[in-house]
A = this chain, B = another copy of it.
């Protein structure tokens, strides 16, 4: 699995988005094997129930999956389908999101994504399909 985009390019792409800057996302790792982002806590993400909003979790799962594909694919590969399982409430804490490619396909690619907290507990898992039609 070749990496077409280098780390600096990927980081630039990630941070080019005003929305990603607003979220405060950081690129931690982008290796052949996986991609890892960090989402530092913002008070805005926290609901009245004192947990991080499920929409924020869905958003970082989508972004991590997307950039994991982007790492290996020379064109934009829009999300086709996203499935998320919420396993444990995220409290006031930084989050980490790791994406691994399951299959880089000629039509559709599949990526597995895991959101963990500082203690490495799994908060949510997601699976994304991305359009990699050439």
Residues of A within 8 A of B (CB): 16-19, 22, 43-49, 53-56, 58-60, 62-63, 66, 76, 78-89, 102-103, 105-108, 110, 122, 125, 127, 129, 131, 133
- What number of copies of this chain does the assembly contain? 4
Point out the residues of chain B lying under 8 angstroms from A66, CB to CB.
54
CB-defined A-B contacts under 8 Å, sample of 11 = A55-B59, A55-B63, A58-B58, A78-B86, A80-B129, A82-B82, A83-B83, A107-B107, A108-B129, A108-B131, A133-B133
Known: A44-B22, A82-B58, A108-B108. Contact between A127 and B129, CB under 8 A? no
Q: How far is the CA of A105 from the CA of B107 in the complex (A)?
A: 12
